[in-house]
Chain A
Amino acid sequence: MAVAIAVRVRLFARLREQAGLETEALEVAPGSTLADVYESLRRKHSALEPDRDSVRGAINQEFSDWDATVSQGDEVAFIPPVSGGC
């Protein structure tokens, strides 16, 4: 069994500025959830938004629950409240 799986994390807007990066390759334990990935990212980038309730997660371009499990090679995105339109 793999000891770690690799995911590609993408950050946008205010979260991107807080972390100072758009994308990061992250290794997490097999069975990790979206919430685990976010906490792992926060350990590396302490300026990242602490209030997870104001953030939504997406796996492979689909909004997903915080307890959804990530898989090897997934693209994981953390999405602050959106403000498209005018």
Chain B
Amino acid sequence: MRYDVTTGPIDAREMEAAVTHPGAGAICTFTGIVRDNSRGQTVTHLDYEAYAEMAVPQMRHIGQEIKDRWPGARVAMAHRTGKLEVGEVSVVVCVSAPHREEAIAACKWGIDTLKESVPIWKKEHAADGTYWIEGDTAKPAS
């Protein structure tokens, strides 16, 4: 199992290789990418900040719960921090499982839970200013 918070590019293929094994008939990989728009505004770039000492253990909790809920699953998660340009990969969640249903369900649950509980924040640099994104709201940044 691999859980990373990293300032460098994320290699999804390498993470897939880390979760593959002879009993896994399916791998589902979610890749999150920096989008060029948000709230109807053009986004120029993002800054991600993490509480890395807590984010990695939180990812490990999520991975453990996936293994409890979907027996046989293996998990890899990585989130990038620092300045990211449009089109760059910000997050990858990769789950292998015996069959596709479990792999897809576990991967969706993994990214949804990461977005709720892993202490990482997005600062959006957009045409109308700079904002901290907090859940569903955007608050002006200094």
Interface residues of A, Cβ cutoff 8 Å to B: 10, 12-14, 16-18, 54, 58, 61-63, 77, 79-86
Query: Which of chain B's residues have a CB closer than 8 A to the CB of A16?
Result: 49
User: What would 16 A/B residue contacts be, using CB atoms closer than 8 Å?
Assistant: A12-B49, A13-B134, A14-B141, A17-B141, A61-B51, A77-B54, A79-B119, A82-B118, A83-B132, A83-B134, A84-B48, A84-B90, A84-B118, A85-B114, A86-B32, A86-B90
CA distance A79 to B120 in the complex (A): 9
CA distance A84 to B119 in the complex (A): 7
Asked if B115 lies at the interface with its beta carbon under 8 angstroms from chain A, I say yes
Closest to B137 in A: A81
CA distance A58 to B50 in the complex (A): 14
Contact pattern, B 21-61, Cβ under 8 Å of A = 1, otherwise 0: 00000000000111100000000000011110111010000
Interface residues of B, Cβ cutoff 8 Å to A: 32-35, 48-51, 53-55, 57, 79, 90-91, 111, 114-123, 132-135, 137, 139, 141-142
Closest to B91 in A: A85
Query: Which of chain A's residues have a CB closer than 8 A to the CB of B121?
Result: 12-14, 80, 82-84
* CB of A80 to closest CB in B, whole Å: 5
